Amino acid sequence: MVYVLGGTQTDFARNWAREGTDMLDAFGEVLRDGLEQARLDASEIETGHVGNFAAELFCGQGQLGGFFGMVDPVFDGLPTARHEAACASGSVAILAAMAEIEAGRYDLACVVGIEQMRNVGGRDAAGHLGAAAWVGREFEDADFVWPRAFSDLSEEYRRRHGLDHDHLMRIAKINFANARTNPNAQTRDWQFTPESFSADDEANPVIEGCTRKMDCGQITDGAAVVFLASEARAADYARKRGIALEDLPRISGWGHRTAPLSYDAKIKASAEGPYVFPQVRAAIEDARRRAGIEGVDQLDAVETHDCFTVTEYMAIDHLGITAPGESWKAIEDGSIERGGRIPVNPSGGLIGLGHPVGATGVRMVNDAARQVAGTAGSCQVDGAERVQTLNIGGSTTTTVSFIVECPRQSRPN
């Protein structure tokens, strides 16, 4: 069992280049803020991990593990590593830190997810992000790789099950509404009209294929941090602070699957199966099996990847909220809304909160931990004790899912 002692994130509405902040500044800011909020001293950290996708492309900067020693001299000599798995980079960094703790190498790990993406123009940013696709072999006719890839996913759902774009727009509306309550959301102050969520080519223009502006997650500068501990270290932490070990969030289950890089290879492999992305479904089920739970009804909320509305549409049926191909039912009956049967993305998700690629997986776990600890503030889901995260990289090439829980009352598994 790995415990979450605390964490934080930056304001995803910020543009670091405009304010004269670079990646190291932001790294130091989120790390120091996280230590303060978790009531930890830098000297207590035994190992450091960084989730980041494309710092070399956006900033010309590698060796991000060396940022620790630049933030505080006490980190000089700290063992660190940087992890890349496209949009799942932060989750893979968490997996690596957990493995070190579970192996007994270290008892207290710091995981930082970070990405700077708003320091270049939109077309250049899209080109950099395209590195997570099969470069030179797929989507070569697209100006914007990922809007095109997930347009293809929309068409695949339409072919297999039928798809109404109004359902995708309802996902966007829900996530933007949730983001309004999140003080760190990039879109918290954005204003919309009814035409914003229509087929109006001015208010909601087509980006690629059938993907429109309001289908898209937000390019964002951002960083997030979580502190992970062994049970023994968490017990000591709790005792010194006069709290019960049972009141600390923990990661009780995880799933990690990797599919072929090619989008077409994934679609062909699933042609005869119930799920469009069987490895996404497998990662979800692996996490639940390790946590000792059987299904979605034992969850109180979900933080899922919604880089596009159709990504969340896919996640709804892969999570088992509905049967395969029936995600529309959970959208129409309000199941995924804040007060619904299984709230999805109470944070606002990637569409509302924002998507700094390497930070997203870390942010998800931090938000899940805050939910089950009852400290999510204006984003809190009433009574939340168990939350599942779902974080994907590329065209679901890498999928990572965590179960984060803090049961405050007896409930059957």
Q: In Å, how far are 78, 140, 160 from 154, measured between CA atoms?
A: 45, 19, 10
Residue 50's nearest CA partner among 272, 357, 277 is 357
pLDDT at residue number 411: 38
pLDDT at residue number 370: 98
| Main-chain phi, psi angles of 125, to 5 degrees | -60, -45
Judged against a pLDDT cut of 60, whether residue 85 lies above it is answered with yes
Region 151-179 average pLDDT:
98
Which pair of structure tokens corresponds to residue 209?
């294929």
Residue 153's nearest CA partner among 275, 328, 330, 252 is 275
Residue 409's nearest CA partner among 389, 388, 384 is 384
pLDDT at residue number 254: 98
pLDDT at residue number 400: 98
pLDDT at residue number 412: 41
Amino acid identity, position 76? D
Query: What is the distance between the alpha carbons of residues 396 and 266, in angstroms, rounded to a whole number?
Result: 9
What is the enclosing helix (H) or strand (E) of 253?
Answer: strand 250-258
Percent of the residues in the chain that have a pLDDT greater than 90, as a whole number: 98
Judged against a pLDDT cut of 90, whether residue 228 lies above it is answered with yes
Which pair of structure tokens corresponds to residue 267?
């679609």
Whether the Cβ atoms of residue 226 and residue 108 lie closer than 8 Å to each other: no
pLDDT at residue number 407: 85
Model confidence pLDDT, tens digit, residues 353-394:
999 999 999 999 999 999 999 999 999 999 999 999 999 999
pLDDT at residue number 413: 42
